[in-house]
């Protein structure tokens, strides 16, 4: 995995490496409102919003169907570096 903590001014996407059950997704959710029944599956693509603890944890957001919405997402939470694999890094616009 790349050291994404040192990459500044970028938009990073990552693939989830394991399933998050509905219960775990709800517990780790940082949003005030989330649709019931939301769970994440291994292979789902997330966007890295911020890094913590020198790159060992990441704040990510997820959209059902992979369709990014402006100023909104279906789920946001913190994932460990071992739970994601960075798949793309682009310069922010």
Q: State the Cα–Cα distance between residues 1 and 42, nearest whole angstrom.
A: 16
pTM of this prediction? 0.79
Indicate if the pLDDT at residue 38 is higher than 60: yes
Look at residue 68 and tell me whether its pLDDT is greater than 90: no
Class for the domain spanning 4-91: mainly beta
For the record, the structure tokens of 83 come out as 């739970």
pLDDT at site 4: 45
Residue 55 vs residue 66, higher pLDDT: 55
Task: Please state the domain extents for the chain.
Answer: 4-91
Contact, 46 vs 13, CB < 8 A? yes
Give the C-alpha separation, 59 to 46, whole Å: 10
CA distance 30 to 78: 8
pLDDT for the residue numbered 1: 36
- Strand 45-52 and strand 75-80: the pairing is unpaired
pLDDT band with cut points at 50, 70 and 90 for residue 71: confident
């Amino acid at each position: 995995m790349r050291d994404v903590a040192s990459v500044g001014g970028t938009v990073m996407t990552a693939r989830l490496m394991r399933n998050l059950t509905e219960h775990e997704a709800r517990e780790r959710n940082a949003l005030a409102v989330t649709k019931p029944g939301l769970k994440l599956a291994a292979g789902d693509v997330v966007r890295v919003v911020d890094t913590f603890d020198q790159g060992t944890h990441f704040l990510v957001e997820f959209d059902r169907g992979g369709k990014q919405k402006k100023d909104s997402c279906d789920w946001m939470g913190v994932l460990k570096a071992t739970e994601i694999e960075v798949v793309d890094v682009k310069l922010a616009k």
